Structure 1
Amino acid sequence: MPPRPLGFTGRTAELDRLLPLFAPDSSNDTAVLISAVTGMGGIGKTALAVEAAHRAREKGWFPGGTLFVDLRGYDADPVTADQAVLALLDALDVRDRDLPPTTERQYDAYRALLAERRDRMLLILDNASDPSQYLPLLPGTDRHRVLITSRDRPDSLGVRLIDLETLAPGDSVALVTRALHDSDERDDRPAREPAAVRELADCCGHLPLALQIAAGMLRRRRHRDIASLVADIRGAGDPADVLDRCSPGTDLYGRSLVLRPVLETSYRRLSADQARLLRLLCLAPGAETGTEAVAALADLDMECALSLLEDLAATHLVISVRGRNGMSSAVRWRVHDLVRAFGVGVVARDAGLREEGEAARERVLTFYHRWAAAADTRLRWLPGRAEPERFANRGQALAWLDSERAGLIAAALWAREERHRNTAVRLALRLWTYLDWRRYIDDLITVSRAAQEAAHRAGDRRDEAGAWNNLGGALRKAGRAAEAIDAHTRARDLHQAARDRHNEAKAWSNLGLALEEAGRVVEAIDAHTRARDLFQAARDRHNEAGVWNNLGLALRAAGRVEQAIDAHTRARDLFQAARDRHYEARVWNNLGVALRAAGRPEEAIEAYGKAYEIHREFEDWYRAGQALLNLARAHQYADRQVDARSYCLQAADAFARADAPDRAAQARSWAAELPE
């Protein structure tokens, strides 16, 4: 058996699963005779197998010894089962004249020896690429145990599978730290540069092979800091370009410490269709991609795409992440960062593959825009309007947007590329309502700014104005009122230049909100009044309702509370007439604030309650939390402290669901100050 792996780190959960399979079991009916450790190249399968074998030997579980064969399954000349049986017979002291003359008799002798041996043995068949390498080597008795390691899942066999994934971030840092300390106990770089070690682990994708190479490079570069290696890797784009160039040589088992050949070997073993899908998946936006998006990316039907993805998952080049509803269409697919960089490099080096990749990106971008537009329409849908396709209700639309969020954001940022600019800009504009509901303000700012810059370069003033408007709203929600005023002013001016009175009115209204946020209340009232007059002239009652609501906010800020109540009441009535319950809820909340300011607490409580009920119905948890906090304030004002505390706690839960931990903490802190 090979020596114990130096600096073995992590894998506690995997060892906890593997070691009990080796333990002596009096009941052979429940014993697991064959186990397989599987995972992508460089994931640490051999290290885990050898570490587990050493621990089992220390416990005395295999008094008959351990047999280890490296089948070199992914080398140019893999070891065959016929070659391996000769090595195994030699280890069992069968050689020279005692060696049977034919292959068939050699297998007979091998199995007979294992059957005769009363003491339990462990057989490790390492680095297998095909069942033909190990099936003839399996013992003909249930006394012994077999452990196979492979990059491919042996799904055709009834074996216990232990799939290895990358190391946890903490274990990755520990691996590098221990490797440096084992070489020189005075090496204090990890202690001096904890952030750089964590970033290095991220650059290596938490893959043990990459981490070992990086540690070897740091030992060689002992007079340089860790941050310098991180900078080199970041600058190269593909970590393998740096790590393989300066690889320290071989590992404890005589295998080369190089990344690219490991990935190239796995890639070359794929069929043409599998290789194509892997390349395209490496170009997909976002860290994870749903099956439906993969099908669009590769221009395949769902069944074909799913079958190929399952094949790739069996090779561990792609990782499946099960969706919440357990359906195959909800499975998401993730490519390791180093595999992604490798795939991008393969595409970049071939003009034909580059064109294929760009066509694929256009398809998935079109896919995202189509369904984001449908989901956005559903979120903003009002009775009497045409039904959007696919999504029967807002819950379905939100669930789809939630599941595809990372890909949607990444695809929207393709607006920076000329080829994909138009569709990506339209996608960014369609994400506003969703990102606002979910309070993903940083994402909202990012995609809106990318859309604005792209539309400006293209000379598309209509889309640019829309993007400025969205950006202003995002900046205002982030508390950056001065920047928001500038953005909305730019949007207004562009709409005025285009004589687009309808969108000019929207820009005036949003500008009023930003002005109010900046404390410029008189200017805010003027801006809202201009917007109201434009919408009234256009007989746009729905948008007029929104402006009345905004005007009410500005009037209340100016101390004109009764006028604010009248404005909010007009807004409520108009939204009710339009059957827009979501915006009606916002107005109820604002009306409640104005009523409380006017000294009408019971009416305010009723208004807040209506706001909360509707926001909860729409799963708009952030605004639901705001309504609950207002209910708490109103009950505290009425000296109902216990009720106030209850509403504070409910608000904390709502903010937590809205991914607003700061607001949740504030609500809990306030609740702690109130009597139970």
Structure 2
Amino acid sequence: MPVASSTLPPRPLGFTGRSAELDRLLPRLAPAPNGDTAALPLLISAVTGMGGIGKTALAVEAAHQARAKGWFPGGTLFVDLRGYDDNPVTADQAVLALLDALGVRDADLPERTERQYDAYRTLLTARHERMLLILDNASDPSQYLPLLPGTDQHRVLITSRDSPNALPIRIIDLEALVPDESVALVTCALHDADERDERPSRELDSLRELTALCGHLPLALQIAAAMLRQRRHRSISSLVAEIKEAEDPTIVLDNGSPGTDLYGRSLVLRPVLETSYRRLPPAQARLLRLLSLAPGSETTTEAVTALADLGTEAASLSLLENLAATHLVAPVQSGEGSASVLRWQLHDLVRAFAVSVVARDQGLRKEGETARERVLTFYYRWADAADDRLRWLPGAVEPERFTGRKEALEWLDGERAGLVAAVLWAREERFTDTAVRLAGCLAQYLDWRRYFDDLITTMRAAREATHRAGNVLGESMAWNNLGIALRKVGRRDEAIDAHTCDRDLCQAAKDRPGEADAWNNLGNAFLEADRVEEAINALTRARDLHQVTGNRQGEADAWNNLGSALKKADRTEEAIKGHTRARDLYRVTQDRHGEAVAWNNLGCALPNEEWEEAIEACSRALEIFQEFEDWYETGQTLHNLALAHEEAARTAEARAHHLRAADAFTRANAPDQAAQSRADAENLE
């Protein structure tokens, strides 16, 4: 009986996580039940992923677990093909190492290469005890195809940075570790060296930040852990600060790298990334560089097409898919049906590496700036069209591209992260004008979707840029939208200050339409702060200015808000007249959404004893809000309907409306209001 052969490396120290991947991989290595070879899974499995993701560690761990279960009594053979080194191991070289492990050497070794392969396959065919062959770090099928056994008795496990999509191989793609697994990896590495090391528990927040800076990439985490072991008397936060101060984290990590890992490989990041980058065809290398400059962490195929000037999405998609096969970019699918969006994401360390490649070359820097200008222009063009669609009223010019609100909102939803990130380019003089205009196009959308943090971020960037450039009208726009966002998140005093700045700038520029809008929003902010008389005065000024300038839409807004202020001042009859006047003006301008707001406010303004009229008014509003899929206003209206039914002693109807309101608020990303509505429903039981 042949002796079991094994060249399996030691089990990886501190192996952490990957339970889901092991659950997928181990059944591929298990023997067939009852010896039924027809039930065996595919002969070959591959663990793929970017350099440093932990492919070898997973393969070796799986092999050790399989060996412990007795699945491979014939042994395990491991060959490092060094596929991404300058001189990768060829199949002809590898077969010699495999024959040596199988006991064929010296005088027994055939001289001719083809005879060596014959001897190798004959030995494997004759060996009835199952064996596992691990072909590690392969970069090309030519390295491992000649080494495959000529029998289905044995199993083969390949690791590679490139996905062998053209071959019948079961592929397990590795992604970065989840945050808790990253923390566990570093903690285990420190405790293995010294169980008394209290830094992980003492500086848990800093440890989490460190793992995030490492992109949860196992190789980077191992390097960081080794650096912390070397710096036994220094804090984790000191390493975090050092990495954050560097433009490229890979430089800090590589400079502090202590040497090699358990498998004799250098613990360095940048050479791993450089090797993968150098292997790319020119078109893929260019796309990787440009993707690193894109705004946001994920970029849609359409935006990539504009960024790289590739002409068609089909051309972009083909190039992106080829690049994804190298695991330097990853596809991210989100949404369902018509709202499904395919985005492309770079690992943080790959992005940092590619940015540094661009920064070191003047020609690449110029190419990158031109690409950024293209994608910013692309974002502005379609955000402007989408904004026009959201604001569109019958009789106005039809916006390009988007045939309805739903289509415009879906596009904005899909591109939101990139759009918001692109506005931040306003800090750079070359991009200031377009980025500020883009910010203005996003205000209505971000307010509608209740993305108030994004609205505050974009408007602060726009305000700073326009102030720096002396763009008074642009600055007033930014103050106005910033004030709206601050009011919506309850920061009332800051909102009042913002709208006051907006008003003062408009007055100085003699921009009377802008001043009217500023008075209107200032009045709303005063009302939120319970400064009712100041609110009434401000909203009256807004109404009068809109009347003078002939802006019926603005006048309707002012009447509507004035009605709410009058209601709060217990001037009920005047409030009802204000909302009725607003409703009629909205009808004249054919603004159905505005009409719904007026109907809802009118229902709230009516006295309690007029609950039937209130229910009728709010029901009219509800119908329109649902038509617009405005779930926040739908929730508000359902809440008002519930109150009207409570006034009419219709408890069951009131409870049902509170529960419907909770559902609407949930859809509107308003969890606090949803919780309150559910509580209101429970209180009626």
Please give the TM-score of this superposition, normalised by the length of structure 2.
0.96
Aligned to 2:116: 106
Q: Alignment partner for residue 603 of structure 2, among 592, 609, 617?
A: 592
1:501–1:534 Cα contact (<8 Å) kept = yes
In 2, Cα distance between equivalents of 1:313 and 1:190: 35
Letter of the 2:501 counterpart: R
Change (3 A) 1:276 1:326: farther
Deviations 1:424-478 (Å, cap 9, x if unpaired)? 0000011111111111111111111111111111111111111111111112112
Letter of the 1:20 counterpart: P
In 1, Cα distance between equivalents of 2:435 and 2:229: 45
In 2, Cα distance between equivalents of 1:606 and 1:124: 73
Q: How does 1:96-135 map to 2 (within 5 A)?
A: 96-135=106-145
Residue 23 (structure 1) aligned with residue 17 (structure 2):
no
2:608–2:647 Cα contact (<8 Å) kept = no
1:169–1:206 Cα contact (<8 Å) kept = yes
Secondary structure of 1:67's aligned partner: strand
Q: Alignment partner for residue 141 of structure 1, among 151, 159, 163?
A: 151
In 2, Cα distance between equivalents of 1:381 and 1:636: 37
Letter of the 1:348 counterpart: A
Aligned to 1:482: 493
1:451–1:467 Cα contact (<8 Å) kept = yes
Q: Alignment partner for residue 415 of structure 2, among 404, 413, 434?
A: 404
Change (3 A) 1:327 1:619: closer
Residue 12 (structure 1) aligned with residue 26 (structure 2):
no
In 1, Cα distance between equivalents of 2:28 and 2:442: 50
Aligned to 2:358: 347
Secondary structure of 1:126's aligned partner: strand
Change (3 A) 1:305 1:332: same
Residue 153 (structure 1) aligned with residue 160 (structure 2):
no
Aligned to 2:391: 380
Residue 278 (structure 1) aligned with residue 288 (structure 2):
yes
Aligned to 2:516: 505
How far did 1:553 drift?
1.1
1:38–1:152 Cα contact (<8 Å) kept = yes
How far did 1:598 drift?
5.3
Q: How does 1:25-174 map to 2 (within 5 A)?
A: 25=32, 26-30=35-39, 31-174=41-184
Residue 222 (structure 1) aligned with residue 208 (structure 2):
no
Letter of the 1:124 counterpart: I
Q: Alignment partner for residue 552 of structure 1, among 550, 553, 563?
A: 563
Residue 251 (structure 1) aligned with residue 251 (structure 2):
no
Aligned to 1:578: 589
Aligned-residue Cα RMSD (Å) equals: 1.5
Aligned to 2:9: 2
1:290–1:329 Cα contact (<8 Å) kept = no
Aligned to 1:529: 540
Aligned to 2:367: 356
2:608–2:644 Cα contact (<8 Å) kept = no
Letter of the 1:581 counterpart: R
Please give the TM-score of this superposition, normalised by the length of structure 1.
0.98
Letter of the 2:366 counterpart: E
Letter of the 2:564 counterpart: L
Letter of the 2:382 counterpart: W
1:562–1:598 Cα contact (<8 Å) kept = no
1:35–1:146 Cα contact (<8 Å) kept = yes
How far did 1:348 drift?
1.0
Which sits farther off after the overlay, 150-159 or 236-245? 236-245
In 1, Cα distance between equivalents of 2:100 and 2:324: 37
Letter of the 1:473 counterpart: I
Residue 472 (structure 1) aligned with residue 483 (structure 2):
yes
How far did 1:241 drift?
1.8
Aligned to 1:647: 657
How far did 1:165 drift?
0.3
Aligned to 2:223: 213
Residue 435 (structure 1) aligned with residue 435 (structure 2):
no
In 2, Cα distance between equivalents of 1:248 and 1:652: 56
In 1, Cα distance between equivalents of 2:52 and 2:497: 52
Residue 331 (structure 1) aligned with residue 342 (structure 2):
yes
Letter of the 2:321 counterpart: E
Aligned to 1:633: 643
How far did 1:327 drift?
8.3
1:648–1:667 Cα contact (<8 Å) kept = yes
Letter of the 2:345 counterpart: R
Deviations 1:5-29 (Å, cap 9, x if unpaired)? 0111000110010000111114434
Secondary structure of 1:109's aligned partner: helix
Secondary structure of 1:331's aligned partner: strand
How far did 1:329 drift?
9.0
Secondary structure of 1:655's aligned partner: helix
Aligned to 2:634: 624
Residue 198 (structure 1) aligned with residue 205 (structure 2):
no
Q: Alignment partner for residue 297 of structure 1, among 307, 317, 330?
A: 307
Letter of the 2:381 counterpart: R
2:333–2:340 Cα contact (<8 Å) kept = no
Which sits farther off after the overlay, 324-333 or 399-408? 324-333
Aligned to 1:460: 471
2:47–2:158 Cα contact (<8 Å) kept = yes
In 2, Cα distance between equivalents of 1:566 and 1:11: 66
Letter of the 2:218 counterpart: P
Aligned to 1:610: 620
Letter of the 1:40 counterpart: M
Secondary structure of 2:191's aligned partner: helix
Letter of the 1:543 counterpart: G
Residue 310 (structure 1) aligned with residue 321 (structure 2):
yes
Deviations 1:183-242 (Å, cap 9, x if unpaired)? 111112111122111111111100000111111111111112211111111111322121
1:625–1:652 Cα contact (<8 Å) kept = yes
Letter of the 1:113 counterpart: L
In 2, Cα distance between equivalents of 1:453 and 1:535: 29
In 1, Cα distance between equivalents of 2:309 and 2:17: 41
Letter of the 1:245 counterpart: N
In 1, Cα distance between equivalents of 2:74 and 2:269: 37
In 1, Cα distance between equivalents of 2:400 and 2:99: 67
Which sits farther off after the overlay, 292-301 or 521-530? 521-530
How far did 1:611 drift?
2.1
Q: Alignment partner for residue 674 of structure 2, among 664, 667, 671?
A: 664
How far did 1:54 drift?
0.7
Letter of the 2:498 counterpart: A
2:536–2:562 Cα contact (<8 Å) kept = yes
1:652–1:668 Cα contact (<8 Å) kept = yes
Secondary structure of 2:77's aligned partner: strand
